[in-house]
Structure 1
Amino acid sequence: MNRPSHPRFPTAARHQRGAVLYVALIMLLLLALLGVAGMQVAGMQEKMASNYRAASRSFQNTEGVVRNAERAAEAITDRTALPTGSLVSATSITTNCEDGFDPVAWGRSQASSAVPAVNVRRIDKCGGPGGNALDEGLPNDDAAASYQITAYSADDPANPTSSSVIDTIFKL
C-alpha cells in the first residue's frame, strides 16, 4: 500500500506563525478602547443632563417667587389679603427710586442658604411724566402701579447646586 506523497498538512500550514491570533488581539484591543470611549461620552452626557436639570429647576423656582411677589403686590395695592406663603409685605415694598438698587449686585450678594429671596420696588413714580417731585401731593394712581421685582432662588433649598436671579417689571 502506497501512501500519498503529500503530508497530512500542506506545507503552507506548517509555516504559519499565528497571525490570526495577533489580528484577533488587536481587534479586541480596539473594541475595548471603543467601549471605554463610549462610557466616557455617556458619563459626560449624564453630567450635562444633570446640570441642565438643576439650572431649569432653579429658573422655575425663581419664576414661582416672582409670581408670588406679583400676587402679593397686587393684593397690597388692592388692599386685600396677602396670598398664603407670601414673601412680600406692605412694609417690604420700597418706593425710593434713588436708592441705587442694582439687581446684579443684589443677586450676587444672596447666599444660597437664604433662598428664596425677593426685592420689590414701586417704580411708577420714578422719572418721566408725573414721576418727579413736582407731583408731590397729587393722589396716587394705584390702578396703574408699576413694580420692579427682583427674585432669587435655587434648584434645591436643602442642597443648592444652581441658583437664578430674575429681574422683571410688573404693571397692574
Structure 2
Amino acid sequence: MGRFHPNPRQRQRGAVLYIALIMLVLLALLGIVGMQVAGLQERMSSNYRAVNLAFQQTEALARSAECALEDMINRTSTAGCDGVTSSMIDSCDTGFDPGGWAQDRSLGQHSAVNARLIGPCISGNSSLEMGGAVNEDPNPIYQVTAFRVDDPDNPTAQAVIDTIFRP
C-alpha cells in the first residue's frame, strides 16, 4: 500500500514565476525611489548654485562700490569700479535700516547699492575726545549695502551684503 508521492518538481511548478514577479516589482520600486531621490538632489544643487551665484554677484557689486568710493576719496579712476556716485551717498542721520531696505528689494529689481557716510555718527572709540565726532578728513567710514540676483534674465535667488568700509 504505497502512498503516491508526487515529484517535488511538479509540486513547485509556477512558484519561481511568482517569486520572479515579486522581485521584479521590488526592483521597479527601488528604481522609482532612486529616480525621485536623484531629482530631489538635482533641484537642491540647482538652488544651492543659484543662491551661491547671487551671493558672489552681490559681493562683487559691493566691492565695486567700495572701489568707487575709494576712487572718489583719492580722486583716482580705477577700471571696473562703479556703482556709486557722490550724489548717491547718504549721511548717517537718515535712519537707514539695512534689513528693511533688503526686504523692499524684489527679484525684478536685479541690483541696487546704498552707500552711507557713517563716520561722523560713530562715537569716538579712543581716549581722544571720547564721544565726540570722528575726524572724517583722513579716514572716512562708509556703510555699503548691496543687493543682486543670480541671473537678471531669469532671477530665482537674491542676496544682500552689508559692509563697513574704510578706504
TM-score between the two structures when normalised by the length of structure 2: 0.86
Deviations 1:43-100 (A, max 9, x none): 00000000000000000000000010000000111122364461110111112x2211
Judged with a 3 Å threshold, the aligned counterparts in structure 2 of structure 1 residues 140 and 35 are, in CA distance, closer, same or farther, namely closer
**Greater Cα radius of gyration, structure 1 or 2:** 1
Q: CA deviation at 1:139?
A: 7.2
Superposition map of 1:31-42 within 5 A: 31-42=27-38
Task: Select which of 60, 65, 78 maps to 2:61.
Answer: 65
Question: For this pair of structures, how many residues does the alignment match?
Answer: 158
Q: CA RMSD in A?
A: 2.2
Q: Distance between the aligned counterparts of 1:168 and 1:162, measured in 2?
A: 20
1:19 aligns to 2:15 (yes or no): yes
- 1:120 match: secondary structure: strand
Closer, same or farther: CA 126–11 of 1 in aligned 2, 3 Å: same
**Is the aligned partner of 1:123 residue 2:92?**
no
CA distance in 2, matches of 1:103, 1:83: 28
Per-residue deviation, 1:120:
0.2
Name structure 2 gaps, 5 residues minimum. Answer: 1-5
Distance 2:136 2:81 in 1: 28
Letter paired with 1:89: T
Paired residue for 1:153?
148
Offset of residue 131 of structure 1: 9.4
Alignment of 1:66-145 (within 5 A): 66-81=62-77, 83-84=79-80, 86-95=82-91, 97-129=92-124, 140-141=136-137, 143-145=138-140
* Aligned equivalents of 2:24, 2:163: Cα separation in 1: 59
Identity of aligned residues (%): 47
Change (3 A) 1:100 1:171: same
* Equivalent residue number for residue 6 of structure 1: none
Per-residue displacement from partner, 1:21-48 (whole Å, max 9, x unpaired)?
1111101111000000000000000000
Superposed displacement of residue 111, structure 1: 2.5
**Greater alpha carbon shift after TM alignment, 97-106 vs 147-156:** 97-106
